[in-house]
Structure 1
Amino acid sequence: MSFDFLMTDHPAWHAEGHRTSRILTLDTGAAWIIEVRGQQVTTTHVHGEQTPPPLDVFSLPAAPRPQAEPIHAPLVRMGSVARLRNPSLWEALATAIIRQVIRAGQARRLYRDFCSRFGDVIAPSGETDFHTFPSATRVLTLSDDEFAESGMSFKRRPLRHAATAFLNHGRSWAELSPSVLVKELQTVSGIGPWSAGATVADWSNDWALYPYADLAVRTWARHANPHHRWAADEPAFARQWRRLTGEHLATYTLLTLAYGTQQAGTV
């Protein structure tokens, strides 16, 4: 597999020197360790199913449509971008809840602390310990005090609602098309359009479903091309972004977020 940049937006990714790695789980309990060094990808099977989802690679056409020129040049310079689809719908949903209305760095810290406190520990070959995200069943056993001690009091109710809904409907949700799933998730208390879209984009790698006018996309589009006259408010930006990106909406959205992780340089 050939790619130029690994997108590490998900808080499960950890960087140590030239090694970037994460635990990857399925809702069935299967688990793998994914390790990336340059373009070398190594998968260590832990338990359960033998085959993890592959990295998906995204790239833009060399010649942009005229409307896309304001954003095309800084993104096409990134080359091809690889992103690992999250195969756990529960974990994708819970991660989106943790990311609600807080900065990415804070969400990353909360996510990792929650995993280290309440997730399962996996240490392949006695090396780095990886902590899985706690299952929906485990989340429902946590007390108010345990949420508070992990800094997650504000996330307690939506996580509990989501865990209950997932245990009741997760199997049928996984059979829905991504566009239908976005609507279905919004029937859960505490899950709005942003959380539903972010969940399904993470789970399916269909980034046309991501809330592409959110603060992250607006911020990094302006950073990539500060000279362009970007729309100031979210609805106007959404319309502008659709006009610029056209049939490549998903790829431009993903690459803009990948550009942000590259610029921020945090894993």
Structure 2
Amino acid sequence: MGFDYLMTDHPAWQPDGDSFHRLMTDDENSAWLLSVRGSQASFRAVSGDAFPPLVAAFAVPPQAPPPAAPIHQALSDLGTVGRPRNPSLWDAMATAIVRQVIRAGQARRLYRDFCLRFGSRVALSGEKDIHSFPSPERVLTLSDDDFTHSGMAFKRRPLRHAARAFLAQGESWSKLSPSVLVKELQTIPGIGPWSAGAAVADWSNDWALYPYGDLAVRTWARRANPDHHWPADEPSFARTWRRVTGDSLATYTVLTLALGCRHSGSI
């Protein structure tokens, strides 16, 4: 697989010398190690016999619709961006919960520490290893102290609610269209529109479902073109963003997040 740039926005990415690795699991006990060096990526099967996850390619249209001119050039400079689809709906849900309210850097630290403490392990080179996010079954075995000592006390209730709901309905949810799934996930206590949209976008790679009025998109749209008048509040920005991006809403959204990932660092 070759891309000009491959997104490493998910907190599961781990540095290892000049490479980065991510242990990816699906919801049926298959697992792969995705390794990236530069713009080159490769999968290694760890368990199961399912096909590796899809790495989708995103690039801006050759000709930008006039409203998209404020951001088109900055995103064109990224070239073709690859992003692996999260094959685990459970991990996508859990990741969105961990990301709620807090900054991205803090969410990465909490996610990784929780994986290290309670997730399954795969050995890398030398003495290094990498861990997956604990399964919903494992999450439900954890005590209140387990959550507290890993800095996740605030996430305890939504993660437990999500784990119970996933075990009961995960199989049927995986068969729904992404747009319907966004609505279904919001029936879980502690999962609102932002978390549901972020989780389903991660799982499906349909970035029209991402909550594109959020702070990350607003921040990097302004960075792409600081001279353009971007509304400061989320509802007004979201309306402007839909108008500016038109039929390419999903592409411009994920590429704007990729711009942030590239310049702010996500590893």
Q: Match for 2:96: what amino acid?
A: A
Q: Deviations over 1:124-174 (max 9, x none)?
A: 566631101100000000000000000000000000000000000000000
* Structure 1 residues 77-116: aligned runs within 5 Å: 77-116=77-116
Instruction: Determine the C-alpha separation between the residues in 1 that align with 2:136 and 2:244.
Output: 40
> Normalization by structure 2: what TM-score?
0.97
Q: Match for 1:165: what amino acid?
A: A
Instruction: Determine the C-alpha separation between the residues in 1 that align with 2:94 and 2:35.
Output: 23
Q: Is the aligned partner of 1:71 residue 2:93?
A: no
Q: Deviations over 1:41-66 (max 9, x none)?
A: 22111111242112111001122010
* Structure 1 residues 19-30: aligned runs within 5 Å: 19-30=19-30
> Normalization by structure 1: what TM-score?
0.97
Q: Is the aligned partner of 1:148 residue 2:164?
A: no
Structure 2: give runs of 5+ residues left out of the alignment.
Answer: none
* Structure 1 residues 162-173: aligned runs within 5 Å: 162-173=162-173
Instruction: Determine the C-alpha separation between the residues in 1 that align with 2:182 and 2:252.
Output: 20
Which residue number corresponds to residue 243 of structure 1? 243
What's the offset of the Cα at 1:93? 0.1
Q: Match for 1:150: what amino acid?
A: S
Instruction: Determine the C-alpha separation between the residues in 2 that align with 1:246 and 1:173.
Output: 29
Q: Secondary structure at the match of 1:23?
A: strand
State the percentage of identical aligned residues.
66
Instruction: Determine the C-alpha separation between the residues in 1 that align with 2:124 and 2:255.
Output: 32
Instruction: Determine the C-alpha separation between the residues in 1 that align with 2:40 and 2:144.
Output: 43
Q: Secondary structure at the match of 1:71?
A: helix
Which residue number corresponds to residue 2 of structure 1? 2
Q: Deviations over 1:19-44 (max 9, x none)?
A: 12100101111111011122332211
Indicate the larger mover: 220-229 or 102-111.
220-229
Task: Please provide the CA RMSD for this pair.
Answer: 1.2
Structure 1: give runs of 5+ residues left out of the alignment.
Answer: none
* Structure 1 residues 118-137: aligned runs within 5 Å: 118-124=118-124, 128-137=128-137
Q: Is the 8 A contact 1:85 1:205 kept in 2?
A: yes
Q: Match for 2:120: what amino acid?
A: D
Q: Deviations over 1:95-114 (max 9, x none)?
A: 00000000000000000000
Which residue number corresponds to residue 33 of structure 2? 33
Q: Secondary structure at the match of 1:240?
A: helix
Q: Secondary structure at the match of 2:109?
A: helix
Q: Is the 8 A contact 1:46 1:124 kept in 2?
A: no
Instruction: Determine the C-alpha separation between the residues in 1 that align with 2:124 and 2:38.
Output: 21
Which residue number corresponds to residue 189 of structure 2? 189
What's the offset of the Cα at 1:262? 0.5
Q: Deviations over 1:67-107 (max 9, x none)?
A: 00011111111101000000000000000000000000000
Q: Match for 2:108: what amino acid?
A: R
Instruction: Determine the C-alpha separation between the residues in 1 that align with 2:53 and 2:122.
Output: 19
Runs of 4 or more off by more than 6 Å in structure 1? none
Q: Is the 8 A contact 1:98 1:111 kept in 2?
A: yes
Q: Match for 2:158: what amino acid?
A: P
Instruction: Determine the C-alpha separation between the residues in 2 that align with 1:43 and 1:50.
Output: 12
Which residue number corresponds to residue 16 of structure 2? 16
Instruction: Determine the C-alpha separation between the residues in 2 that align with 1:50 and 1:216.
Output: 33
